[in-house]
Structure 1
Amino acid sequence: MYKKINYIVAVMILLASVSLKAQVTSQSPYSRYGLGNMKGLLLPQFRAMGGISTAVFRPSTYYSTINMQNPASYSGITLTTVDIGMSGGFKELKKGSLSEGSFNATLSHVALAFPIKAGRTGLSFGLMPYTELGYEFSNTEKLDTNTVNKLYSGEGGLTKAYFGLGQQFGDHFRIGANIEYIFGNLVENRALELQSVASVNTKQQDKNSVGGIGFSYGAQYEIPLSLKSRITIGYSGSSPSSINSQKTFVVTRYVRQSTGDEGTALDTPTFNQNNSAKLKLPLVHNFGISIQKDNKWLIGADYRMGNWSKLSIDGVNKGLEDSWGFSGGAQLTPDMTSIGSYFNRVDYRVGFTYDKTYIKIADQDVKQMAVTFGLGLPLAFNRFAFHKINLTSEIGRRGTLNSGLVQENYINIHLGFTLNDTWFRRFKFD
């Protein structure tokens, strides 16, 4: 049985790696700002609680959960843990009386964790989406006597591969750090087309190929209230790293075909490839607090802030604002050891999240808010293994209809498979 599970895991890791690197999974006009839509290092079980994670150590003593948002939590890994997931989302874009719907889905993450010294030292590594870029829109203007279509589109995104270590000192203090390799392509296009004549049109393409090292870190301090209850205070952050980038700028000319499709490029007046640049990421802080009773309930809150006004590519500031936000959430497990009722062993999760994003348009701050809920559905349990399905829903909104802006209404679904097992154990025979 375990050989089959390991085989399935290996195949899903391969598929997830390809998916994370290749698929376009966003249709959002707001993704054109900065590096795209930020995803966050959150597994479905944390998203279900509004994204709280900074002060979450071990939601249960029966199984291990990977919390890469705060690597100090790796020290609590007691079982070999594999977490693989997928996500999908329904989105409605509204502007004035117009609306448009879309759906996207993809495999989302692969993460593994191992105890080095159970309850004291643990490590984790994996692959997660970092940003998503995907949009397509146009506007029409008058140029002398001609009507001009201005077309804008973008695709791509960045992925984060991480390796982290967490260590506990004494009975109550933990620290940890991740080294992260951030990579991917950000491609943006701008085209100018004349409506009234069969003209030769012009398109510009900017491409950034990113690849470089970043760092994140965290700490947690635990205040015992009794043998089975505790308060945890946490901090995590990301350093202001400088990432390598190769820029390519291409200008092409083409004629729009009668079918409406863009024709083959007639020529390429400009082609500047592999110009070296630096992508400077900002300093990000996360603060959190949680209170829990082991294997029964957990309540927590997070506050975050990012110095995104310092983001720059090739020395050019991206015109973003500093961001801030907060989350609150909870988890309840009626009876983890119940034999007579399966639903008593289920984790019930709920939360909310609010962010003032780094985007400001027409003197309007773009804000995002959502309510979240989810379930942790146990599949198997014995003294050596514990498997669980984590299902999460997010119902939210970003932006406003004021000042002619676009409002995004969305429903995101996240599905994660958590496999806990005891690998590398020695069996003793009488």
Structure 2
Amino acid sequence: MQVKRAVVKLGLVLAMIIPCAAWGQSSSTNAFSPYSMYGLGELQTPGTLRTRSMGGVGIGMRSTSSINLLNPASYSVVRPKSFVFDFGVEGQCFYNAQKYGGQTLKTSNYTFNFHDIAFQMPLARRVGLGFSLTPYSSVGYRMKHEETSDDIWGNIGRVQYQWEGDGDVTEVKLGVGWEIIPGLSIGAALQYYWGDIDRTYKTAILENIVGGDQIASASGVENYSISRLKGQFGLQWSPIYNRRRILTIGATYDIGGNLNPKVTKSVTTGDVITSVAKGDTVRLDLKLPRQIAVGIYYTTPKIAVGADYVYQNWRGSNSRIVERAAGGFDVAYRNTSTFKVGVEYTPNRGDIRSVLKRWSYRAGVRYGTFNQTFGGLNVNEYAVTLGVGIPLRIMGSSAIDLGVELGQRGSFDRINEQIGLVKQTYFKFSIGITMFGEDYWFVRPKYD
């Protein structure tokens, strides 16, 4: 009876959440950024809300009460006869500013979508299984520009350019972790990437009057269709492990490889009659980067501190892919390095008098580089994160997590202004829930 109830609970939760998540991933609400115009778009921060609130650290984290999506070796720590489920949603506010023609142009956009669905369960003694469904990258932008040259106005007419894009790539991950000896765990995971990205651009010639009719136009559409399987390996070693202190060192390696998206292109022209001028389907030689990540994580009953370093080999994998931007400069891939530091403080998990002392307070910072260059210029990005975990029971593992992130990408300086790079500031607010962490589903009660 206990097992049946557990299965029914999980089935109902998944039945409600997975359709919503699938709809969210097929919508274009995960990002709204001009930095998502090329390639796979803007990469999402991996991990559950607990790790994202700590700056994104987690390569060395091992926890029986929450899921670690960053290192499959951590799946081995799951408690026997237990089950952990995690679900998170995220809202984002994007503020973009660009200096053009002596003016500062500003826009703001808001999005909301799910971030992760994950569960973790034991398979055998010291062996655990983990599953997750998370957004890997997102595309969302809409821009317009009108030619102001007197020669073009006089000889051709008003020329208007428009660029739009939406879509995303989702990662499905299934892994196993095994503690081969006390304090040493290894793990491996399969990662399946799928998604669709649509990009459109349009050039229209209008009459030389305000609100004039369209005389002629040319439109292009590109659809990226992605469906590929990759892999990840992980390791965790705890040189210090006792009831008061745990020190864990972790590492992961993502094998990367050819994503090989199918790109369908078409160009149409129209004045009185619209006709297809060109259409073909090709395979783009776009590769996911090889990634090496290392981290350290130290915990006591009150404090957890972690630090990670992540290196991604985007340039080496995609050195031949160079796109021409509308501004006339080249967009190319570059290798990236990201540093993350985070801390969590819980005053007293078992305090029965003060609710606030049972809460977990989190903070972190992240600094790195964007994976593309614009006219040979690098774009730096950083973020500051804060969060809180609210347990649902005294000494319980189920919890509601709240988190915020404030970040920036790009900056204003003389060189960046010359090619019109955008300074982007964003704010994220997230809600997550970890369920059934403390419930031993498969233990038969002695008394009903």
With normalisation by structure 2, the TM-score equals 0.86
Contact 2:65 2:398 survives alignment (8 Å): no
Flag the 1:176–1:265 CA change in 2: closer, same or farther, 3 A: farther
Flag the 1:207–1:347 CA change in 2: closer, same or farther, 3 A: same
Aligned residue in 2 for 1:192: 203
How many angstroms does 1:225 deviate by? 6.2
Q: How many residues align?
A: 412
Aligned residue in 2 for 1:299: 305
Amino acid at match of 1:164: G
The aligned runs of 1:144-223 (5 Å cut-off) are 144=152, 145-146=155-156, 147-196=158-207, 198-223=214-239
Distance 2:246 2:266 in 1: 58
Flag the 1:110–1:203 CA change in 2: closer, same or farther, 3 A: same
Aligned residue in 2 for 1:348: 361
Aligned residue in 1 for 2:399: 388
Amino acid at match of 2:289: P
* 3-state secondary structure, aligned to 2:259: strand
Distance 1:5 1:71 in 2: 22
Contact 1:282 1:308 survives alignment (8 Å): yes
The aligned runs of 1:92-131 (5 Å cut-off) are 92-96=95-99, 97-117=104-124, 120-131=126-137
Aligned residue in 2 for 1:85: 88
Matched, 1:284 2:301: no
Distance 1:312 1:92 in 2: 30
Matched, 1:359 2:377: no
Aligned residue in 2 for 1:75: 76
Give % identity: 27
Contact 2:221 2:265 survives alignment (8 Å): yes
Deviates further, 369-378 or 106-115:
106-115
Q: Where in structure 2 are there 5+ consecutive unaligned residues?
A: 209-213, 324-331
Write out per-residue CA displacement over residues 55-114 of structure 1, whole angstroms, 9 at most, x where no aligned residue. Answer: 1112xxxx5211111111001111301111110011111112211111100122211110
Aligned residue in 2 for 1:427: 445
Distance 2:443 2:375 in 1: 61
Amino acid at match of 1:416: G
* 3-state secondary structure, aligned to 2:20: helix
Distance 2:83 2:384 in 1: 32
How many angstroms does 1:316 deviate by? 4.1
* 3-state secondary structure, aligned to 1:338: coil
Aligned residue in 1 for 2:431: 415
The aligned runs of 1:233-272 (5 Å cut-off) are 233-254=249-270, 266-272=274-280
Aligned residue in 1 for 2:40: 35
Aligned residue in 1 for 2:53: 48
How many angstroms does 1:429 deviate by? 5.8
Distance 1:6 1:411 in 2: 34
Flag the 1:4–1:236 CA change in 2: closer, same or farther, 3 A: closer
Amino acid at match of 2:76: S
Write out per-residue CA displacement over residues 207-255 of structure 1, whole angstroms, 9 at most, x where no aligned residue. Answer: 1100010111211111116532022111112112223422211112346
Distance 1:101 1:342 in 2: 38
Write out per-residue CA displacement over residues 21-58 of structure 1, whole angstroms, 9 at most, x where no aligned residue. Answer: 33432110001133111113211111110000111112
Aligned residue in 2 for 1:135: 141
* 3-state secondary structure, aligned to 2:215: coil
Matched, 1:65 2:76: no
Matched, 1:336 2:344: no
* 3-state secondary structure, aligned to 1:199: strand
Aligned residue in 2 for 1:14: 19
| Correspondent of 2:386 among 355, 362, 373 | 373
Distance 2:262 2:39 in 1: 17
Amino acid at match of 2:316: K
* 3-state secondary structure, aligned to 1:426: coil
Distance 1:285 1:249 in 2: 34
Flag the 1:98–1:169 CA change in 2: closer, same or farther, 3 A: same
Deviates further, 168-177 or 360-369:
360-369
Distance 1:357 1:73 in 2: 28
| Correspondent of 1:310 among 312, 316, 325 | 316
Amino acid at match of 1:13: I
Q: CA RMSD in A?
A: 2.4
Distance 2:353 2:426 in 1: 38
Aligned residue in 1 for 2:422: 406
| Correspondent of 2:333 among 320, 323, 329 | 320
